């Protein structure tokens, strides 16, 4: 007897404002705001939610099993709840599988982070192998610099060429009401002071505080709630080599593998929107190439505005990287645009590809595809 997975759709999604620091608010405040926002206008109550999947980091939160302190804010009290210690897009993939299997009908996905409460560099360094990599001073900044040296050489580009990627991101983020940003940074050191050769401060993602929530449901349930349902059509994930020296010098094969898995079930072969995550400008270029949106070493051409796919119309992760919630934020931005929600310009867009990354130096990758239901 053959089994057909149950179609899954997005009911709603919401986020807090992303700020470099929410000094006057705790994790529970940010989570509660996102969860309240995602239920608003759906006609659903928290009692209608069958399960909660959350993404966060004990290290970033400063205590073990930190999600236990946030169950009330997530609406998970006396409810099935699971924690994913990875970017929120993996939690969404978990929830998607759970509903597709028929074991539940409505699921809530929550991802959050407050990197302002610690040194984000320390967080990334804890992911390193402690005997041969951590002692030599390798961190996420120097790793990105190593990738950049090799990528720029292979692509025949100069470090200044990366400014196109950074400016595209920051200018889009200024227009995004979900990001606390009034103007593109103009300080000279930001654009021209080397942080990890050949990269400048503008080439790296800015950590921010915030929370994101997504409400998923079986398609037949979602169809009764929203007039423009967005169906999830594919997902995939893959992990690269842990040791940086063992990875490809100027490409992300694990990202390409995740994309192949997602595209294997997606009906669309081209996408109107691509919301991708990256910790650096070069990382973003390599992601776009791994996803098949540009030939190898040619992703810079996507920023001339003439392509069929809108790349990171939200600004992406460079201006606003809530670390454990970055991929779920990309999903929220894409889903809100496809659904034509208030404040999001949908236009003619009907398909989207979303990418999340995690691990040291973008070791892990997750890809999700979606489209407006016919």
- pLDDT exceeds 70 at position 233: yes
> 168-172, 249-253, 333-337, 344-348: which has the minimum mean pLDDT?
344-348
% residues pLDDT > 90 (the chain): 87
Across all residues in the chain, what is the average pLDDT? 95
Residue count of the chain, please give it: 374
Q: What local confidence, expressed as pLDDT, does residue 218 receive? A: 98
Q: Do 199 and 206 contact (CB within 8 A), yes or no?
A: no
Q: What local confidence, expressed as pLDDT, does residue 2 receive? A: 58
**CATH classification of 8-118+207-225, choosing from 3.40.47.10, 3.90.230.10, 1.10.490.10, 3.40.50.1820?**
3.40.47.10
Q: What pTM does this model have?
A: 0.97
242: its two tokens: 């842990």
- pLDDT exceeds 90 at position 252: yes
Under DSSP, is residue 138 helix (H, G, I), strand (E, B) or coil?
A: coil
Q: What local confidence, expressed as pLDDT, does residue 280 receive? A: 98
- Mean pLDDT across 234-253: 96
Determine the Cα–Cα distance for residues 65 and 45; give it in Å rounded to an integer: 26
* Domain boundaries, given as residue ranges, for the chain: 8-118+207-225
- Mean pLDDT across 276-297: 98
- Mean pLDDT across 226-249: 95
Q: What local confidence, expressed as pLDDT, does residue 273 receive? A: 96
- With a CB cutoff of 8 Å and minimum separation 6, the contacts of 14 are 34, 35, 36, 37, 38, 40, 212, 213, 332
Q: What local confidence, expressed as pLDDT, does residue 345 receive? A: 67
Please, which pLDDT band fits residue 107 given cuts at 50, 70 and 90? Answer: very high
Please, which pLDDT band fits residue 308 given cuts at 50, 70 and 90? Answer: confident
- Mean pLDDT across 94-113: 97
% residues pLDDT > 70 (the chain): 98
pLDDT digits (tens, 9 = 90+) for 39-50: 999 999 999 999
Q: What local confidence, expressed as pLDDT, does residue 336 receive? A: 95
pLDDT digits (tens, 9 = 90+) for 136-158: 989 999 999 999 999 999 999 99
Q: How far is CA 278 from CA 80, 175, 330, in A?
A: 32, 20, 11
Question: What does the DSSP assignment read for 144-194?
Answer: HHHHHHHHHHHHT--GGGGHHHHHHHHHHHHT-TTB--SS----HHHHHSE
Determine the Cα–Cα distance for residues 270 and 309; give it in Å rounded to an integer: 8
Determine the Cα–Cα distance for residues 296 and 286; give it in Å rounded to an integer: 8
């Amino acid at each position: 007897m053959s089994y057909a997975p149950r179609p899954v759709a997005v009911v709603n999604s919401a986020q807090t404002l992303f700020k470099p620091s929410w000094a006057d608010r705790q994790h529970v405040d940010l989570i509660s705001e996102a969860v309240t926002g995602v239920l608003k206008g759906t006609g659903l109550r928290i009692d209608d939610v069958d399960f909660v999947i959350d993404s966060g980091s004990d290290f970033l939160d400063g205590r073990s099993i930190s999600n236990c302190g946030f169950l009330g804010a997530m609406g998970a009290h006396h409810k099935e709840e699971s924690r994913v210690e990875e970017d929120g897009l993996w939690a969404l993939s978990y929830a998607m599988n759970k509903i597709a299997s028929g074991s539940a009908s409505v699921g809530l996905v929550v991802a959050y982070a407050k990197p302002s409460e610690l040194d984000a560099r320390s967080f990334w360094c804890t992911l390193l192998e402690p005997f041969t990599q951590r002692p030599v001073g390798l961190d996420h900044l120097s790793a990105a610099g190593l990738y950049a040296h090799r990528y720029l050489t292979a692509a025949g580009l100069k470090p200044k060429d990366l400014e196109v990627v950074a400016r595209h991101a920051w200018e889009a983020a200024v227009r995004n009401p979900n990001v606390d940003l009034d103007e593109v940074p103009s300080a000279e050191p930001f654009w021209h002071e080397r942080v990890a050769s050949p990269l400048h401060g503008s080439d790296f993602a800015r950590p921010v505080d915030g929370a994101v929530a997504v409400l998923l449901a079986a398609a037949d349930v979602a169809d009764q709630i929203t007039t423009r349902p967005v169906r999830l059509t594919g997902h995939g994930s893959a992990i690269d080599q842990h040791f940086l020296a063992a990875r490809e010098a100027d490409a992300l094969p694990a990202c390409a593998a995740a994309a192949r898995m997602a595209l294997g079930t997606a009906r669309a072969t081209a996408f109107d929107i691509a919301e991708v995550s990256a910790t650096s400008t070069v990382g973003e270029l390599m992601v776009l190439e791994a996803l098949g949106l540009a030939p190898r070493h040619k992703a810079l051409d996507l920023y001339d505005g003439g392509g069929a796919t809108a790349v990171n119309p939200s600004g992406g992760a460079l201006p606003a990287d809530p670390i454990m919630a970055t991929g779920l934020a990309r999903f929220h931005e894409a889903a809100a645009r496809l659904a034509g929600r208030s404040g999001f310009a949908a236009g003619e867009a009907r398909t989207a590809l979303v990418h999340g990354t995690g691990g040291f130096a973008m070791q892990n990758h997750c890809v999700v595809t979606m489209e407006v239901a016919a």
